[in-house]
Amino acid sequence: MPRPRKLPSPTFDLTHHTLDNGLRVVVAPDRSAPVVGVAVLYDVGIRSEPEGRTGFAHLFEHLMFQGSANLEKLEHFRYVQSSGGTFNGSTHFDYTNYFEALPSNALERGLFLEADRMRSPRITAENLANQLEVVKNEIRVNVMNRPYGGFPWIHLPAVLFDTFANSHDGYGGFEDLESATVDDAADFFDRYYAPANAVLAVAGDLDVDATLGLVERHFAAIAARPAPTRPSFAEPPLSAERRETHHDAHAPIPAVAIGYRLADPVGDLDGLLATLLLCEVLSDGDASRLRRRLVQRDHLVTDISAYVGEFGDPFDERDPTTVTISAHYADAGALDAILRGLDEELARIADDGLEPGELDRVRTRLVSVLLRDMDAVISRTLEFAKFELVHGRAELIAELPGRLGAVTVDDVRAAARELTPQRRAVLELVAGGAK
């Protein structure tokens, strides 16, 4: 049996602490540059939205920047920018994050800002109406008036999944967004934005004890509230292929998105890593299986990608997540040939395994990307918070190279055997005015 491949692994000095109100804290010192990252992740995302409130998690993310207990609107922005820092937030399927990157002498400022809005954001009718228009305009720009807008992450889940939580439009429909009230927002905050439902990560040029003292000073007085019980969103694998069509008047050429349900990515991490490496074998670079077959040899597609996770982050979601293979192609009649080529390449991997050196090539590149993506202090801070929240252990980041090195060719073959035509959803994008 081949020995596990040894790959370089990062080392982090992580300190964990939990406040009396339930807030989980991860602190990671790194004195290599005079900067710090502050990130707060709340265990609420697109899947938490109730029916009739599509897009609400994202709308609420916007509201969290509209002032807080001690800050007027825009003051959060001014305090970060006047310190030479940057900030942002984003909504995901299983969590929402808020973060700042700051010079290390502004660490307390960043902690105060996050604590202040965790304590009490300014949820007013004026702020709600203002941010509703911002979100609606974002949808117009990014989805309604852009070629391939929201494709496939908005449209594929409705074909692939059955439950509202997994299948609805995370950007939201205008009717649902416009019906949101201040009471809805206040209830959403009370239910999901409790300290016990969040993780705070602080990383960079800091002293651990002093940082924990600042965290206690600013976050400990926030009232404790129980964290909501997260329901199971699991759905079994499909037993028959599904096909739907999406029309895009702005798209110049057709496209296709092929999705497979991937169960329990947290509980079965090794299975997730095998599937991730399979996706790399399929579409990573010009030497990958699908690029050689469908782009270079058969000239059926102009580009193709295979990835895990709705937004391409394999570690972003709990059960279930998605394997997506998407391609653009010029010949509107080529879809069946594309699917046939995909199935044949998956069958080759499942039956015959991989070429010599193929697994090591994609594994080495993947680990190099993971390490590179953690270079920036804010990226590293966000990763600590995400792995602590979603996977239960921030330390898992440092273990990923070793876990990837232990994946075998047989593991990748087993992952390929799961991606059968009976288990997939196919969403065909029809371009232009074609009907």
Q: Per the structure block, which two tokens stand in for 103?
A: 């010079």
- For residue 107, pLDDT over 80 is answered with yes
291 plus 375 within the same structural domain: yes
- For residue 2, pLDDT over 80 is answered with no
325 plus 384 within the same structural domain: yes
393 plus 268 within the same structural domain: yes
Predicted confidence at residue 5, as pLDDT, reads 62
CATH code: domain of residue 330? 3.30.830.10
174 plus 247 within the same structural domain: no
Confidence at 10, pLDDT banded by 50, 70, 90: confident
Residues 262, 320: Cα–Cα separation, whole Å: 6
Predicted confidence at residue 60, as pLDDT, reads 97
187 plus 123 within the same structural domain: yes
**Domain span at residue 156?**
15-219
Predicted confidence at residue 434, as pLDDT, reads 52
For the segment 378-423, what is each residue's pLDDT rounded down to a tens digit?
999 999 999 999 999 999 999 999 999 999 999 999 999 999 999 9
Q: Per the structure block, which two tokens stand in for 211?
A: 């940082």
Q: Is residue 234 part of a domain?
A: no
Q: Is residue 369 part of a domain?
A: yes
Do the beta carbons of residue 314 and residue 386 sit within 8 Å? Answer: no
Confidence at 78, pLDDT banded by 50, 70, 90: very high
110 plus 171 within the same structural domain: yes
104 plus 251 within the same structural domain: no
Predicted confidence at residue 3, as pLDDT, reads 55
Q: Is residue 1 part of a domain?
A: no
Q: Is residue 270 part of a domain?
A: yes
For the stretch 122-130, contacts whose Cβ atoms lie closer than 8 Å and that sit 24 or more positions apart, written own/partner, are 122/66, 122/67, 122/68, 122/73, 123/63, 123/182, 123/185, 123/186, 123/189, 124/66, 124/182, 125/182, 127/63, 127/66, 127/67, 127/73, 128/63, 128/180, 128/181, 128/182, 128/185, 130/66
- What domain count does the chain have? 2
pTM: 0.95
Percent of the chain whose predicted confidence (pLDDT) is above 90:
96
For the segment 219-278, what is each residue's pLDDT rounded down to a tens digit?
999 999 999 999 999 999 999 999 999 999 999 999 999 999 999 999 999 999 999 999
270 plus 179 within the same structural domain: no
200 plus 257 within the same structural domain: no
The average confidence (pLDDT) of the chain is: 95
* Closest CA relative to residue 260, chosen from 390, 340, 161: 161
195 plus 328 within the same structural domain: no
301 plus 383 within the same structural domain: yes
Q: Mention every residue, 6+ apart, whose C-beta is less than 8 A from residue 313.
A: none
* Closest CA relative to residue 274, chosen from 419, 96, 372, 429: 419
Predicted confidence at residue 377, as pLDDT, reads 95
Boundary of a domain, candidates 161, 186, 219: 219
For the segment 38-66, what is each residue's pLDDT rounded down to a tens digit?
999 999 999 999 999 999 999 999 999 99
Residues 325, 6: Cα–Cα separation, whole Å: 29
- Three-state DSSP at 143 gives helix
Q: Is residue 7 part of a domain?
A: no
Boundary of a domain, candidates 158, 188, 219: 219
- Three-state DSSP at 188 gives helix
Boundary of a domain, candidates 219, 252, 268: 219
Residues 388, 391: Cα–Cα separation, whole Å: 6
Q: Which residue has the higher pLDDT, 171 or 434?
A: 171
Q: Is residue 224 part of a domain?
A: no
Predicted confidence at residue 1, as pLDDT, reads 46
Mean pLDDT of 282-293: 96
Q: Is residue 226 part of a domain?
A: no
Q: Is residue 286 part of a domain?
A: yes
184 plus 257 within the same structural domain: no
